[in-house]
Amino acid sequence: MADRPSRALVVYGDGHASLVSPSHTNLHSVASRASCGFLSLRTPPPEETEDDRAVRELAQLLDAFDFYTATVFQTEQHSQANAVVGVKESSIPRISERFMGLRAAVFSSCTGVRSFAANLGFSVFKIDGLIEKSDSSEELQRTTDELQMATELLRLLGFSGGDVLENFEFDIVFLHITMEKAKSQKGTIVGRTDVDWLDKLVGGIVQVSQPELAIASRLHLSIILSYGTVSETDELFSLISNSSTETNSDLSLYRPPQSYTMKGGNPLKDVRHHHPMLFAQWQDGVTRRDMAKTFSFDEFIKHGGNLAILADRFLHEVAFKLWKAPKYGA
């Protein structure tokens, strides 16, 4: 545990997990110095749209899945106008109320994600707005686009020039990255939000937060990669070894419930045991380094230190590092 509260940057590569290759050295470098594991997700409903999936999975990361399902139910049962009123009446407390004044922001190109996060009390921004803001910074004119974005993201957290500033805008920033093209203010393509681009961005973040700099011990960095839409019959990347035989065996009745299948002490029936999110967390001198060397499912399940937790618990774990929530679990 650090002697001062951390500030968190969460880089979420939505749908990028299966595309990581040995050439993505920055992602692997973070994994090699981080604490790695999995975030389990709920089973998706049938015929879910891509936008709905993006919002539903982010809702789990923000521990707002129950709020999300209530919103969907109201939208299906009532007219859109009545649904909006119903959502506001049944809103869960804002993020600042849930986590001791936490100031949080979400950057995303997905309209549904921004709308949902705004309902939770997040400040929301478009990713292209972040790029344009980086482009206009005179002190960053000679740096790469990815390094510009990394520097701007850290500035929002009160990190500048390797120093930790007392005045800052946010305690935590989520960068939700989908598989789309990002454009600058002039309309030119400045980067693709594919894994190559994501890897370069992670490299920029690491470059401006080297261990010898003051910010390294105050920045809590989380890299999350998900698989996006997966087939109902596809059970690759399973958290249960020999899942097809063990779940159908009488011996499975004697298997104690895993913590990633429970919430509030109650077992959940809709947890998906395959294709979890992969996540690596690094903070110099604070997070425990495990034996994982590459950013991959096989490496995390063999050598990761965190195993699996329910995605709903992610924000609580990070908020604890920011001194905005009590410790949860062991």
Answer yes or no: is 245 within a domain. Answer: no
Structural domain tally of the chain? Answer: 1
Does residue 254 have a pLDDT over 60? no
Q: What pLDDT score does 235 carry?
A: 77
Instruction: Of 134, 141, 211, give the one whose Cα is nearest residue 175.
Output: 134
Residue 222 lies in a domain: yes
CATH for 88: 3.40.720.10
In a domain, 257, yes or no: no
Rounded to an integer, the average pLDDT of 243-256 is: 55
pLDDT tens sequence across 286-295:
998 999 999 9
Of 270, 209, 198, 186, whose CA–CA distance to 34 is shortest? 209
Residue 195 placed within a domain = yes
Q: State the residue range of the domain holding 56.
A: 7-237+274-321
pLDDT class of 82 with cuts at 50, 70, 90: very low
Does residue 225 sit within a domain? Answer: yes
Q: Is residue 230 part of a domain?
A: yes
Burial of 129-153, coded b for 16+ CB within 10 Å and e otherwise, reads: ebbbbbbeeeebeebbbbbbbbbbb
Does residue 262 sit within a domain? Answer: no
The per-residue pLDDT for range 106-161, each reduced to its tens digit, is 999 999 999 999 999 999 999 887 766 655 554 444 456 788 899 999 999 999 98
Residue 172 has pLDDT above 70, yes or no: yes
Question: Does residue 91 belong to any structural domain of this protein?
Answer: yes
